[in-house]
Amino acid sequence: MTPGTRRAPRKDAQRNRERILEAAREVVAERGVAAKMEQVAARAGVGIGTLYRFVPTKDALFSTILGEQADRLADLAERALALPPGESAFHTWMAEAAAWQSSNKAFINVLAARDPDEPVPKLLSAKLRALLRDLVRRGQADGDLRDDVTSSDVLMVLLAVGRIGEGTEDTNPSYARRFLALQLDALAPGGAPLPGKALTERQLELTLDALAHSRRRT
């Protein structure tokens, strides 16, 4: 076998993998929990056997997508943190992350597709956790955030904006932006001290998992 004939299968395999991942991103963004492997294969233009050669289970495929979505949020955070003094890094990130979330159901929905008996996964990478903490510190220094807000509070607000956006998508598509503005105002300095304690990282993971699995039942 010549070198040229050995390279061709690898190129074909890479193209199939890229088509499968792109199709999976689209199907999960559109259908969330309801996404099926057969739909991914059909969208990618490959047989179901080819799909399973690349990803042995639905959980494995969705875990890959979930990691990509977390990386996307991290990229948005890095770009916001690079803004010069005088520009609001926190408000920029929240607006961009909320807009991204409104067009992509994967971030929370894909968790519900996994086996509920499996251990709770780490949804947030160490990189994303660190960037969220940096955004909170920047927001507090810029006067956009109250001092008792934490990164877990911010993420829960973002998810709430996403759920409200889903609920009003057919009745008032622009309402999510109004709701985000209300939340940003509530996060701003000047209010009474917040009651209770913020979620720990472990509590945040368990909460995200519970939210995802509530969708499995709907």
More confident residue, 105 or 112: 105
| Confidence (pLDDT) at 166 | 82
* Positive/negative CA dihedral, 134, 204, 182, 188: negative
Name the packing angle between helices 175-187 and 89-102 (round to 10°): 150
| Confidence (pLDDT) at 61 | 79
User: What tokens does 9 get?
Assistant: 């299968």
Give percent of the chain with pLDDT exceeding 90: 42
User: What tokens does 95 get?
Assistant: 């607006």
CATH architecture of the region 63-216: Orthogonal Bundle (1.10)
Least confident of 5-9, 19-23, 180-184, 191-195: 5-9
Nearest Cα neighbor of 121 from 180, 70, 185 is 70
Yes or no: say if 153 and 160 are a contact pair by the CB < 8 Å rule: no
**How do the domains of the chain map onto residue ranges?**
1-56, 63-216
When the pLDDT of each residue in the chain is averaged and rounded to a whole number, the result is 83
| Confidence (pLDDT) at 212 | 66
Q: What angle do CA 53, 29, 34 make, to 5 degrees?
A: 70
| CB-CB neighbours of 66 under 10 Å | 22
| Confidence (pLDDT) at 80 | 96
| Confidence (pLDDT) at 24 | 87
Name the fold adopted by 1-56. Answer: Arc Repressor Mutant, subunit A (1.10.10)
What pLDDT digit, counting tens, does each position of 26-83 carry? 887 777 667 789 999 999 999 999 999 888 887 777 777 777 777 888 899 999 999 9
Yes or no: say if 196 and 150 are a contact pair by the CB < 8 Å rule: no
| Confidence (pLDDT) at 64 | 79
| Confidence (pLDDT) at 211 | 72
Residue 108 has pLDDT above 70, yes or no: no
Q: What is the pTM of this model?
A: 0.76
Residue range 126-145: average pLDDT?
Answer: 93
| Confidence (pLDDT) at 196 | 95
What are the CA-CA distances from residue 116 to residues 32, 106, 119, 209 (Å)?
16, 17, 8, 9
